[in-house]
Chain A
Amino acid sequence: MSDGGGESGKVHERPKTRKNLGSEDFPRALAKIAVAQICESEGFQIFQQSALETLADVAVRYVQNMGSTANFCANFAGRTECNLFDIIQALEDLGSVQGFAGASDIEHCLASSSTVKEFARYVAQAEEVPFAYSVPKFPVVKERKLRPSFLQIGEEPPGEHIPSWLPALPDPETYIESPIVKEEVVEPQTIKTEPEKQCRTEKSFWNLQQWLFCNGLEGSQREDPRNAAMTKQIQESNPFLAPPLQFGEKEVSSIVLPDKVLNNSSTEYHVPVMENCQVDTHVSVLETFAPAIESIKNNFHMSEEKYSLNRKSTVQFKIGTGKKAAGNMIELRALNNGVKKSSSWFVGEDEKDDKKRKAEKILKDSMENSNELSHL
Chain B
Amino acid sequence: MNHNQQATGSRHDDDAALSEFLASLMEYTPTIPDELVEHYLGKSGFQCPDVRLIRLVAVATQKFVADVASDALQHCKARQAAVVKDKRDKQQKDKRLILTMDDLSKALREYGVNVKHQEYFADSPSTGVDSTSREE
Contact surface of A with B, Cβ cutoff 8 Å: 27, 30-31, 34-35, 37-39, 41-52, 54-55, 58-60, 62-68, 70-71, 80-84, 87, 91, 97-98, 109, 111-112, 116-120, 122-123, 126, 128-131, 135-139
Contacts and interface: CB of A to CB of B under 8 A. Distances in A.
Contact of B31 (A60, A71, A112, A131): A131
Nearest to A66: B57
* Closest A-B pairs by Cβ, 9 of them: A67-B44, A67-B46, A112-B14, A67-B41, A97-B112, A42-B69, A68-B44, A49-B123, A46-B98
Contacts, number: 200
Interface size range of chain B in the complex: 35 or more
Nearest to B125: A46
B84 interface: no
Contacts of B112: 97
A51 B123 CA distance: 10
Contact of A120 (B21, B39, B111): B21
Interface in B1-39: 10-11, 14-15, 17-18, 21-22, 24-25, 28-29, 31-37, 39
B18 A116 contact: yes
Contacts of A71: 44-47
Nearest to A72: B45
Contact of A44 (B33, B69, B115, B123): B69
Given A44-B73, A48-B99, A123-B28, 17 more contacts: A38-B32, A38-B66, A47-B99, A48-B123, A55-B68, A58-B113, A59-B61, A62-B64, A66-B41, A66-B61, A68-B45, A84-B18, A84-B53, A87-B53, A111-B11, A120-B17, A131-B32
Contacts of A51: 99-101, 103-104, 119
Dominant secondary structure of chain A at its interface with chain B: helix
Nearest to A60: B40
A154 B117 CA distance: 65
A132 B34 CA distance: 13
Contacts of B48: 81-83
Given A31-B36, A46-B98, A82-B47, A109 B11 contact: yes
A46 B35 contact: no
11 contacts: A27-B40, A39-B69, A42-B73, A48-B98, A48-B100, A49-B120, A64-B43, A71-B44, A123-B28, A130-B29, A135-B33
A315 to B, nearest CB: 79
B91 interface: no
Nearest to B48: A82
A118 B125 CA distance: 37
A111 B13 CA distance: 10
Contacts of B56: 84, 87, 119
Contacts of A64: 40-41, 43-44
B82 interface: no
A130 B31 contact: yes
A55 B42 CA distance: 21
A70 B57 CA distance: 11
Nearest to B123: A49
A34 B100 contact: no
B10 A50 contact: no
B35 A68 contact: no
A66 B125 CA distance: 35
A289 B66 CA distance: 81
A146 to B, nearest CB: 26
A65 B45 CA distance: 10
